[in-house]
Amino acid sequence: MGMTHIVDRRLNGKNKSAVNRERFLRRYRHHIKKAVSEAVQRRSITDVERGEKVSIPSKDIQEPIFRHGAGGRRDAVHPGNQEWVAGDTIAKPEGGAGQGQGQGQASPDGEGMDEFVFQITQEEFLEFLFDDLELPNLARKKLKDTEAFSFVRAGFTSQGVPAKLDVVRSLRGAHARRLGLSGARKRKIRELEAQLQALQTAPDDLDPAFSHEDQIKALIDEIAELKANVRRIPFIDEIDLRYRQHQKQPKPATSAVMFCLMDVSGSMTQMHKDIAKRFFILLYMFLKKNYKKIDVVFIRHHTSAKEVTEEEFFYSRETGGTIVSSALKLMRKIIEARYSPAEWNIYAAQASDGDNWNDDSPTCGKLLAEGILPQVQYYSYIEITPLDHQTLWYEYEKLMAEHPQSFAMQQIADPADIYPVFRKLFERKAA
């Protein structure tokens, strides 16, 4: 017939709906942002590698049209009559769900039909999470060089130590060399032997002047010499030897530990903690890009410090005063016990509202300078307060001057500061 075209469209773009999907997210960004920030409260800070389920009340995304309402008189025809005849009456169900309107369907998975539920991707999740932070694309930052190295194979070399001799490679080279050097001579030998054979089998001329004998002798000598030459080619030569080559590559230490230190004294409100939490999440994401394995240690403190679970860290409240050094002491103890700086890259982030007992601040400075900073890659301190600084800040300022490579501090007044501050803290420092 030839009227039909059959077209393979499968390789055409499949994301025709991407723009429309994006339009939808754009329109409901407010809802989604709310869902995302709720999800952050719920999620562990190490749990940032997935998207999120967002649900929006159906009435908010409804596209209204003129419809019939309930009431009035209406007819409906249905299939499958079993026993009724004309004139029968059927009691209406309680609640008057009635016929007609809204063919309300129960959702099979228990999600109410009054919720519109959909999934956003991890990227979208992060985008919404840091939306008010004006998150640019996270550029990969080079962290401080690590001490560990690994050796990787880097081809072969002709010089090396016997232990790295590659026998197969070397013999293969030798074989090739022998073939190369002997090939022309062997060919010559074969030619001469053929000539010799021809002379020897040809009937000898009666005239001695034309005797082949001289020629035969000359050929025999030449062949013998050539064969001797071939035999002199060494089976293996120094130039055949090949050694495995290795290069020293800096090995990104595969494990890191991140200490989260937070003041949980009475002055820290949930808002403070949420800001801290976002900051910790950022740090975690950042480390995640560079290390395979990350341990997270949560230390909270008021007048005394305690290692806790993440849950307790963010959500339990304490009252009373603040002694920051208690947390630093505990951190040092944990490093000694579990995280040898030779094997672990140690990062720490401390969040506080700046409160500390005045006498304690110098102790903190000393502890950090002597006991902690020499062991860690980086120590960051964020002070979440719009107010004036107290002694801890000034003490830490001194530290920053002395240890610009491993210590940084910033102040955060509201959520919008988190990302810029984070960036500032983790900017590559001139070496």
Partner 1 sequence: MNESIDRPNDLDGREPNVGTPISTSSEWTFELIQKYDEAIAECAAEFGLDTYPNQIEVITAEQMMDAYSSVGMPVGYNHWSFGKQFLQTSKGYQRGQMGLAYEIVINSNPCIAYLMEENTLPMQALVVAHASYGHNSFFKGNYLFRTWTDANAIIDYLVFARNYVSECEERYGIDAVEEILDSCHALMNYGVDRYKRPSPISAEEEIQRQTEREEYQQRRINDLWRTIPKPEEDDPVKRKPRFPSEPQENLLYFIEKNAPLLETWQRELVRIVRKLAQYFYPQRQTQVMNEGWASFWHYTLLHRLYEKGLVNDGFMLEFLQSHTSVVYQPPFNSPWYSGINPYTLGFSIYTDLRRMCENPTDEDREWFPEIAGTDWLETLHFAMRNFKDESFILQYLSPKIMRDLKLFAIEDDDNQNHYTVTAIHDEAGYRTLREKLAAQYNLSYREPNIQVWNVDVRGDRSLTLRHIPTDHIPLGKETDEVLKHVHRLWGFDVFLETVDNGKVQNTHRCPPLSVDDD
Q: Which residues bind partner 1 (CB under 8 A)?
A: 1, 3-10, 12, 14-17, 19-27, 61-82, 84-92, 98-101, 103, 105, 108-109, 116-119
Quote the CA–CA distance of 237 and 178 in Å, as a whole number.
10
Residues ≥6 apart with Cβ < 8 Å to 61 = 28, 116
12 versus 159: smaller Cβ distance to partner 1: 12
Output the smallest distance, CB 96 to partner 1, in A.
8
Q: Rounded to the nearest whole angstrom, what is the least distance from the CB of residue 125 to partner 1 in the complex? A: 15
Among residues 75 and 238, whose Cβ is nearest to partner 1? 75
Measured in Å, how far apart are the chain's first and last C-alpha atoms?
A: 76
Which residue has tokens 């030839």? 2
Rounded to the nearest whole angstrom, what is the least distance from the CB of residue 364 to partner 1 in the complex?
51
**Based on CB atoms, which residue is closest to partner 1, 101 or 269?**
101
Range 65-73, long-range pairs (CB < 8 A, 24+ positions): 67/101, 68/100, 68/101, 69/101, 70/96, 70/98, 70/100, 70/101
Q: Which is nearer to partner 1, 6 or 161 (CB)?
A: 6
CB of 58 to partner 1, least distance (A): 11
**Long-range contacts (CB closer than 8 Å, 24 or more residues apart) made by 226-233:** 226/185, 226/188, 226/189, 226/192, 227/189, 229/185, 230/182, 230/185, 230/186, 230/189, 233/178, 233/181, 233/182
Least CB distance from residue 115 to partner 1, whole Å? 12
Choose between 60 and 414: whose C-beta lies nearer to partner 1: 60
Neighbours of 375 (CB within 10 A): 19
Closest CA to 409 of 379, 373, 388: 379
Complex with partner 1: residue 82 or 159, whichever CB lies closer: 82
Q: In sequence order, which residues have a C-beta less than 8 Å from that of residue 429 and are 6 or more positions away? A: 404, 405
Rounded CA-CA distance 330/317 in Å is 19
Q: Containing H/E element for 56?
A: strand 52-57
Report which DSSP code applies to 156: E
Closest separation in Å from C-beta 54 to partner 1: 10
Provide, rounded to whole angstroms, the least separation between the CB of residue 108 and partner 1: 6
Q: Which is nearer to partner 1, 96 or 208 (CB)?
A: 96
Residues 380, 408: contact at Cβ < 8 Å? yes
**Closer residue to partner 1, CB minimum distance, 88 or 123:** 88
Sign, CA torsion 280/122/113/108: negative
Between residues 25 and 400, which has the closer beta carbon with respect to partner 1?
Answer: 25
Cβ proximity of 174 and 242 under 8 Å: no
Residue 348: count other Cβ atoms within 10 Å of its Cβ: 28
Smallest separation, CB 32 to partner 1 (Å): 12
Q: Tokens representing 137? A: 């694309």
Min separation Cβ 73 and partner 1, Å: 4
